[in-house]
């Protein structure tokens, strides 16, 4: 069975601190995809990144970076120099190679509060 | 630009009422999904549809049904609303690709309260 665990329920940091959100996944598929979504207070989930299981290169996009490690089944997300606008719930999600249907399995989310 | 819209942001209904939640996407996506989001549980899949008039149960379909008469519209129906269906409901859509899972795009959500 597939599962995503986000052990950190809530994190509070002060602006300009770096923060890492953890994501650990379980799957028996050899081909799978990992996602991060951001849910600001407005409620809409915003897509941040998609990574397939064959691409273990780390990715950096501005202040955001992702560390994918198959050996530990982790796909962690780091925000550098956090800002108040980063305050949101962040979800990690997993999808197998589902063919015609691409169901996502979500973690329970991490609430990040960035204090000014 | 990608656009998924939901008919209401906030909805208050009474126990036993029939409730319709509407979702429309303008991206010509084949696949559409309904999730509910509850604190501490993340998002859980209720139903999904991979074509017009086609539907499949997700992880928690009990108490819900769906309708997809047109490609762009996917409706979630609560036949007889109950208080335990008070939740945030999120719609998403995507297009399947030969390479596997494509990105799902989400609507703004409907916060439903059943009294």
Bigger pLDDT: B90 or A55? B90
- CB–CB contact A91 B42 (8 Å): yes
Instruction: Show the 3-state SS of A47-102.
Output: EEEEEECCCCCCEEECCEEEEEEHHHCEEEEEECCCCHHHCEEEEEEEEECCCCCC
- CB–CB contact A102 B105 (8 Å): no
Instruction: Show the 3-state SS of A11-41.
Output: EEEECCCCEEECCEEECCCCCEEEEEEEECC
Rounded Cα distance between A107 and A103, Å, is 13
pLDDT of residue A101: 57
- What is the tens place of the pLDDT at every residue in A12-43? 999 999 999 999 999 988 888 899 999 998 88
Q: Which residues of A touch B38 (CB under 8 A)?
A: none
Rg (CA), chain B: 14
Comparing C-alpha atoms, which of A49, A63, A61 is closest to residue A16? A63
- What is the tens place of the pLDDT at every residue in B53-99? 899 999 899 999 999 999 999 999 999 999 999 999 999 998 766 55
- What is the tens place of the pLDDT at every residue in A81-116? 999 999 999 999 998 755 545 678 999 999 999 999
pLDDT at B11 over 70: yes
Q: Which residues of A touch B43 (CB under 8 A)?
A: 91, 93, 104, 106
pLDDT at B31 over 60: yes
Closest-approach residue (CA) in chain A for B39: A108
When pLDDT is averaged across residues A39-63 and rounded to a whole number, the result is 88
- CB–CB contact B104 A104 (8 Å): yes
pLDDT of residue A55: 83
pLDDT at A2 over 80: yes
pLDDT of residue A100: 46
User: Chain-wide mean pLDDT for chain B?
Assistant: 91
Q: Which residues of B touch A102 (CB under 8 A)?
A: 31, 94, 96, 100-102, 104
């Amino acid at each position: 069975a597939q599962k995503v665990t986000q052990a950190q329920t809530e994190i509070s940091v002060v602006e300009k601190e770096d923060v890492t959100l953890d994501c650990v996944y379980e799957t028996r598929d050899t081909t799978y995809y990992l996602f991060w979504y951001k849910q600001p207070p407005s409620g809409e989930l915003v897509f941040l990144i998609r990574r397939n299981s064959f691409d273990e290169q780390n990715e950096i996009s501005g202040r955001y970076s992702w560390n994918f490690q198959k050996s530990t089944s982790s796909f962690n997300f780091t925000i550098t120099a956090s800002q108040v606008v980063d305050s949101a719930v962040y979800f990690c999600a997993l999808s197998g190679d589902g063919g015609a249907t691409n169901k996502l399995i979500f973690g329970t989310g991490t609430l990040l509060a960035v204090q000014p | 630009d990608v656009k998924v819209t939901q008919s209401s942001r906030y909805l208050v209904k009474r126990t036993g009422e029939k409730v319709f939640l509407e979702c429309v996407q303008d991206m010509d996506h084949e696949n559409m999904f309904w999730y509910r989001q509850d604190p501490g549980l993340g998002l859980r899949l209720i139903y999904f549809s991979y074509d017009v008039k086609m539907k499949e149960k997700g992880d928690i379909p009990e108490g819900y049904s769906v309708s997809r008469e047109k490609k762009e519209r996917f409706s979630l129906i609560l036949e007889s609303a109950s208080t335990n269906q008070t939740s945030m409901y999120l719609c998403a859509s995507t297009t399947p690709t030969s390479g596997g899972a494509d990105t799902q795009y989400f609507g703004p959500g409907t916060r439903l309260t059943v009294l």
